[in-house]
């Protein structure tokens, strides 16, 4: 075992800490309160090169998906400052990585050019009342007409709706209902007039992600906008990578709450003793619980990332689910404890804990949700080798 | 980052797993029911070379405590077979490490190493009824200078292997000095020395095979060359925390043993009229997922504490050791509880090992440092900024 991060990309990780603290954190409450896309953050992240994190070396990027440990640690650090921004950045970087991995050489170059030009790519897979598994008819479908794909349908939870430059739609092409054959990525320019955004996003948490619903009517794109082949979006080496990043992002919420609580309890003094409350045993007990949850979940996230790198996505799949479960449950419990520690102040609007507590709730439900994670881990234990990678 | 087991000791971890499965597990019920010292296990462990693992290499050992992470994995694997044996093995191995690698002079180290190679068993007795090992106080057990060495009198509690070990390593205070950091010494006493009495009252709910009766010492003569180290050495930062660290691995092993058993049970058990194993029932499979994630997270916390201790020393790892002990003991308690609910009435049956793991895991919660103490220390150390955290 070795728990130090030794990577040529470590400089990016160190930079992420600074960006998080100096750039993202001061703005976080504004995007949250106004449910506004963190445009200024993205401008800064583009300038810092952080929207190119997953571009391969030949296109000028550090190809961070070949170094998943550093990748998730960067997300973790950014999320401490602003979970909305970290989550959206992860979506952009991950879909960029998938499209470039799956595309033809012309497509690769086109996507890299877009990203290098500061364009933001969104990924829209969610549909109401359906899952992305098994045989069924998707709401969003495309037909090839005169050399163009014509897309119709509806997507929900479309993060960065109206803000991203391109939408990557998860679309069923043709008449085959088997999504393992028919579900495809279609990269569409966001300014196509066939997109109608419902502007109804008014959420309790993750308000800055502006995840409106989108109606898609006769959006026609050239045939070369289809990237990869049928079934690619739900491949085991594709979809779980989103989940790994979510784990790191949601754990960042808990880490921010823990660090806030630590700082607060060191400085908060109550009369008449005037000792910092961190010297009170009930407070130490709470801090201890939070710290332990934090460290354990962080190890689970790092271990899943390491497994992805060392053994590949299939091997890492149950570990990613275990990490996602650990991270989101840990953040939910840490933010609960932090509010207890802060007392009534933690519930006031614009208090950082009030926001972090809300954000942590979304970790529990975002796919793969906690119950789904348990199911995946259980199946790996029951059906396959029960040992996780790295176990003696 | 790397989560693989240290290749230098990997063979031992694998061998421990085999020994636990083939030798310890089949006998565990007997030692538990009869509350009997697992002598045959110790003979087999000696034969396999395990009792000399923590001796330095020049004295025929593997210096296994040079990598506490690997050491903890050996304990964990052994405990999955028999918690009592793993605990006693840890007590002997860690006190032998202290005597021969840290505190003993060359002559002493050689002499004690020879005894170990001869199959002799060493116990270590520190506990007293109402006192802690900190600060300034008069211990019940104290040593007075005599013509040939020392005369020890007093009483010790929870003396594991009482009446079974060949040598007793006594933690006691030199008379006329109340500051434990100056007056606490280790004395190595052959157990057949006159003046030693055992109350034989050990009849415990759990860890029954450890035979931890109380002992009284009345003018027990100890030779001059069997006082080890100097005053305060036993509570030095690089000595004391190693005991608690090992406990975390041992008790987590009770959880690991229970987990392996219940998964196997749930995969085989079918209820009429369904012809599918109960492991496939969602309420049960989700609990298997929960247990697996908890177990993996706790094991990582134990390994992390060991890794920190090996790389940065026991003092820097002190916070992590307390975190590990807490999470290991709580996890083993929770897993054995869950497993019992899944097993139904079978879980209560004496002929299944689950009830034994369940009882043994309760001891993990209270054995020093108990879980409340661990939480307080973890929080206190974090508040003081000395946690050795990897997060920052």
CATH code of B376's domain: 1.20.140.10
Nearest Cα residue to B69 out of B161, B15, B113, B5: B5
Range of the domain at B133: 124-230
Residues B129 and B76 in one domain: no
Residue B323 and residue B360 in contact, taking contact as beta carbons nearer than 8 Å: no
Q: What is the pLDDT of residues B304-362, one digit of tens each?
A: 999 999 999 988 899 999 999 999 999 999 999 999 999 999 999 999 999 999 999 99
Residues B93 and B147 in one domain: no
Q: What are the backbone dihedrals phi and psi of residue B156, each rounded to the nearest 5 degrees, phi first?
A: -125, 145
Q: Could you say which of A255, A265, A288 has the minimum Cβ distance to residue B376? A: A288
Residue B318 CA to residue A66 CA, distance in Å, equals 34
Q: What is the mean pLDDT of residues A364-384?
A: 93
Residues B216 and B329 in one domain: no
- Residue appearing with tokens 């990748």: A71
B266 contacts in A (CB within 8 Å)?
Answer: 382
Flag if A322 and B293 touch (Cβ within 8 Å). yes
Query: B 101-120 residues with CB below 8 A of A?
Result: none
Test mutation, B19, B258, B267, B292, chain A, max A CBs within 10 A: B292
* Complex ipTM: 0.94
Q: Could you say which of B73, B282, B322 has the minimum Cβ distance to residue A392? A: B73
Q: Does residue B331 lie within any of the structural domains?
A: yes
Residues B143 and B196 in one domain: yes
Confidence of residue B391 (pLDDT cuts 50, 70, 90): very low
Query: A 230-269 residues with CB below 8 A of B?
Result: 255, 262, 265-266
B379 contacts in A (CB within 8 Å)?
Answer: 278, 283-289, 291
**Same CATH fold, A236-383 and A10-119?**
no
- pLDDT at residue A133, as a whole number: 61
Q: Does residue B280 lie within any of the structural domains?
A: yes
Q: Does residue B390 lie within any of the structural domains?
A: no
Nearest Cα residue to B311 out of B66, B53, B4: B66
Residues B265 and B309 in one domain: yes
Residue A346 and residue A353 in contact, taking contact as beta carbons nearer than 8 Å: yes
Residues B135 and B97 in one domain: no
Among B230, B258, B273, where does a domain finish?
B230
Nearest Cα residue to A389 out of A272, A328, A306: A306
Residues B158 and B203 in one domain: yes
- pLDDT at residue A177, as a whole number: 87
Q: What is the pLDDT of residues B29-65, one digit of tens each?
A: 999 999 999 999 999 999 999 999 999 999 999 999 9
Q: How far is A116 from chain B (nearest CA, A)?
A: 30
Q: Does residue B141 lie within any of the structural domains?
A: yes
Residue A145 or A239, more confident: A145
> Counting one residue from A and one from B, how many pairs have CB atoms under 8 Å apart?
168
Judging by DSSP bridges, how do beta strands A166-173 and A183-189 pair with one another? antiparallel
Residue B222 has pLDDT above 90, yes or no: yes
Residue A52 CA to residue A45 CA, distance in Å, equals 9
Among B99, B120, B141, where does a domain finish?
B120
Q: How far is A125 from chain B (nearest CA, A)?
A: 26
Residue A21 has pLDDT above 50, yes or no: yes
B1 contacts in A (CB within 8 Å)?
Answer: 2-6, 69, 302, 305-306
3-class secondary-structure state, position A273: coil
Among B120, B152, B178, where does a domain finish?
B120
Provide the CATH number for the domain around residue B195: 2.40.110.10
Residue A75 CA to residue A13 CA, distance in Å, equals 9
Flag if B289 and A262 touch (Cβ within 8 Å). no
Judging by DSSP bridges, how do beta strands B227-228 and B184-190 pair with one another? antiparallel
Q: What is the mean pLDDT of residues B63-91?
A: 98
Tell me which chain B residue has its CA closest to the CA of residue A278: B383
Q: What is the pLDDT of residues A2-13, one digit of tens each?
A: 999 999 999 999
Residue A357, Cα to own-chain centre: how many angstroms? 18
Residues B363 and B269 in one domain: yes
Q: Could you say which of A69, A255, A295 has the minimum Cβ distance to residue B1? A: A69
Residue A268 and residue A344 in contact, taking contact as beta carbons nearer than 8 Å: no
Q: What is the pLDDT of residues B237-296, one digit of tens each?
A: 888 889 999 999 999 999 999 999 999 999 999 998 888 999 999 999 999 999 999 999
Nearest Cα residue to B285 out of A380, A131, A314: A380
Residues B28 and B141 in one domain: no
Q: What fold characterizes domain A122-230?
A: Butyryl-CoA Dehydrogenase, subunit A; domain 2 (2.40.110)
Residue A135 has pLDDT above 90, yes or no: no
Tell me which chain A residue has its CA closest to the CA of residue B6: A1
Domain count, chain B: 3
Provide the CATH number for the domain around residue B73: 1.10.540.10
Query: B 246-285 residues with CB below 8 A of A?
Result: 263, 266-267, 279-280, 282, 285
B391 contacts in A (CB within 8 Å)?
Answer: 255, 294-295, 298
% of chain A residues with pLDDT over 90:
87
A275: exposed, middle or buried (Cβ count in 10 Å: 0-12, 13-18, 19+): exposed
% of chain B residues with pLDDT over 70:
97
Residues B72 and B149 in one domain: no
Q: Does residue B210 lie within any of the structural domains?
A: yes
Residues B226 and B91 in one domain: no
Provide DSSP, A213-259: EEEEEEEEEEGGGEES-TTGGG-TTTHHHHHHHHHHHHHHHHHHHHH
Residues B143 and B168 in one domain: yes
Per the structure block, which two tokens stand in for A282? 């009930």
Residue A265 CA to residue A345 CA, distance in Å, equals 13
CATH architecture of A236-383: Up-down Bundle (1.20)
B379 touching A (Cβ < 8 Å): yes
Q: What is the 3-state secondary structure (H, E, C) of chain B?
A: CECCCCCCCHHHHHHHHHHHHHHHHHHHHHHHHHCCCCHHHHHHHHHCCHHHCCCCHHHCCCCHHHCHHHHHHHHHHHHHHCHHHHHHHHHHHHHHHHHHHHHCCHHHHHHHHHHHHCCCCEEEECCCCCCCCCCECCCCCEEEECCCEEEEEEEEEEECCCCCCCEEEEEEEECCCCEHHHHEEEEEEECCCCCEEECCCCCCCCCHHHCCEEEEEEEEEEEHHHEECCCCHHHCCCCHHHHHHHHHHHHHHHHHHHHHHHHHHHHHCECCCCCCEHHHCHHHHHHHHHHHHHHHHHHHHHHHHHHHHHHHCCCCCHHHHHHHHHHHHHHHHHHHHHHHHHHHHHHHCCCCCHHHHHHHHHHHHHCCCCHHHHHHHHHHHHHCCCCCCCCC
Q: What average pLDDT is seen over chain A?
A: 95
Confidence of residue A372 (pLDDT cuts 50, 70, 90): very high
Test mutation, B248, B289, B327, chain A, max A CBs within 10 A: B289
What is the residue extent of each domain of chain A? 10-119, 122-230, 236-383
Q: What is the mean pLDDT of residues A175-188?
A: 92
Q: What is the pLDDT of residues B130-157, one digit of tens each?
A: 666 666 777 889 999 999 899 999 999 9
Nearest Cα residue to B234 out of B97, B98, B377: B98
Residue B387 has pLDDT above 70, yes or no: no
B128 touching A (Cβ < 8 Å): no
The matching CATH number, chosen from 3.40.50.360, 1.10.540.10, 3.40.47.10, 1.10.287.110, for A10-119 is 1.10.540.10
Flag if A287 and B378 touch (Cβ within 8 Å). yes
**Sign of torsion, CA B378 B383 B385 B386?**
negative
Q: Does residue B1 lie within any of the structural domains?
A: no
Q: How far is A335 from chain B (nearest CA, A)?
A: 16
């Amino acid at each position: 075992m070795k728990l130090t991060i030794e990577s040529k990309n470590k400089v990016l990780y160190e930079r992420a800490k600074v960006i998080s603290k100096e750039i993202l954190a001061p703005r976080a409450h504004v995007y949250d309160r106004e449910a506004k896309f963190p445009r200024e953050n993205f401008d800064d992240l583009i300038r810092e090169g952080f929207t190119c994190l997953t571009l391969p070396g030949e296109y000028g990027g550090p190809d961070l998906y070949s170094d998943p440990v550093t990748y998730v640690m960067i997300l973790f650090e950014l999320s401490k400052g602003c979970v909305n921004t970290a989550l959206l950045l992860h979506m952009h970087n991950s879909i960029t990585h998938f499209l470039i991995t799956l595309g033809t050489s012309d497509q690769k170059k086109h996507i890299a050019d877009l990203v290098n030009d500061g364009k933001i790519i969104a990924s829209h897979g969610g549909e109401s009342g359906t899952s992305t598994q098994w045989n069924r008819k998707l709401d969003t479908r495309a037909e090839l007409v005169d050399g163009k794909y014509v897309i119709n349908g509806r997507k929900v939870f479309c993060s960065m709706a109206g803000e991203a430059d391109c939408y990557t739609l998860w679309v069923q092409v043709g008449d085959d209902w088997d999504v393992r054959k028919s579900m495809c990525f279609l990269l569409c320019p966001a300014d196509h007039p066939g997109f109608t955004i419902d502007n109804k996003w008014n959420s309790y948490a993750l308000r800055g992600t502006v995840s409106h619903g989108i109606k898609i009517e006769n959006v026609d794109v050239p045939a070369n906008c289809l990237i990869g082949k049928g079934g690619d979006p739900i491949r085991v080496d594709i979809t779980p990578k989103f989940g790994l990043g979510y784990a790191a992002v949601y754990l960042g919420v808990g880490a921010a709450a823990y660090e806030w609580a630590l700082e607060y309890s060191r400085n908060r003094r109550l009369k008449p003793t005037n000792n910092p409350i961190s010297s009170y045993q009930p407070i130490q007990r709470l801090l201890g619980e939070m710290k332990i949850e934090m460290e354990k979940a962080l190890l689970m996230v790092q271990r899943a990332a390491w497994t992805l790198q060392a053994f590949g996505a299939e091997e890492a799949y149950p570990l990613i689910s275990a990490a996602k479960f650990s991270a989101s449950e840990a953040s939910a419990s840490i933010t609960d404890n932090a509010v207890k520690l802060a007392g009534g102040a933690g519930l006031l609007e614009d208090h950082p804990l009030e926001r972090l507590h809300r954000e942590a709730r979304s970790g529990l439900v975002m796919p793969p949700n906690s119950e789904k994670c348990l199911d995946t881990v259980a199946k790996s234990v029951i059906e396959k080798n029960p040992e996780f990678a790295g176990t003696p | 980052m790397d989560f693989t087991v240290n290749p230098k000791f990997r063979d031992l971890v694998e061998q421990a797993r085999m020994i636990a499965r083939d030798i310890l597990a089949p006998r565990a019920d007997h030692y538990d029911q009869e509350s009997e010292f697992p002598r045959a296990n110790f003979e087999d462990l000696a034969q396999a070379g395990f009792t000399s693992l923590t001796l330095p290499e020049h004295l025929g050992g593997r210096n296994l405590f040079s990598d506490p992470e690997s050491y903890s994995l050996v304990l964990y694997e052994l405990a999955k077979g028999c918690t009592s044996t793993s605990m006693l093995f840890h007590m002997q191995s860690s006190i032998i490490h202290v005597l021969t690698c840290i505190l003993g002079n060359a002559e002493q180290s050689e002499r004690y190493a020879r005894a170990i190679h001869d199959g002799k068993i060493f116990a270590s007795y520190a506990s007293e009824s109402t006192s802690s090992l900190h600060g300034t106080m008069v211990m019940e057990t104290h040593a007075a200078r005599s013509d040939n060495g020392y005369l020890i009198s007093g009483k010790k509690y929870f003396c594991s292997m009482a009446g079974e070990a060949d040598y007793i390593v006594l933690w006691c205070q030199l008379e006329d000095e109340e500051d434990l950091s100056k007056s606490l010494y280790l004395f190595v006493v052959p157990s057949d020395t006159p003046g030693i009495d055992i109350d034989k009252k050990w009849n415990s709910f759990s860890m029954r095979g450890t035979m931890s009766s109380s002992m009284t010492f009345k003018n027990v003569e100890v030779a001059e060359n069997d006082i080890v180290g100097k005053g305060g050495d036993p509570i030095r930062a690089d000595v004391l925390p190693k005991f608690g660290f090992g406990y975390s691995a041992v008790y987590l092993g009770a959880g690991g043993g229970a987990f392996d058993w219940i998964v196997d049970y749930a995969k085989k058990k079918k209820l009429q009229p369904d012809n599918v194993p109960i492991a496939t029932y969602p309420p049960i499979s989700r609990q298997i997922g929960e247990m697996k994630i908890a177990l993996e997270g706790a094991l990582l916390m134990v390994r992390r504490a060991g890794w920190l201790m090996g790389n940065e020393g026991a003092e820097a790892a002190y916070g992590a050791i307390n975190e590990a002990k807490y999470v290991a003991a709580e996890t083993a308690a929770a897993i054995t509880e869950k497993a019992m609910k899944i097993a139904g009435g079978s879980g209560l049956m004496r002929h299944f090992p689950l009830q034994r793991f369940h009882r043994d895991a309760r001891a993990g919660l209270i054995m020093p440092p108990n879980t409340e103490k661990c939480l307080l220390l973890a929080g206190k150390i974090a508040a003081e900024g000395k946690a050795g955290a990897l997060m920052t």
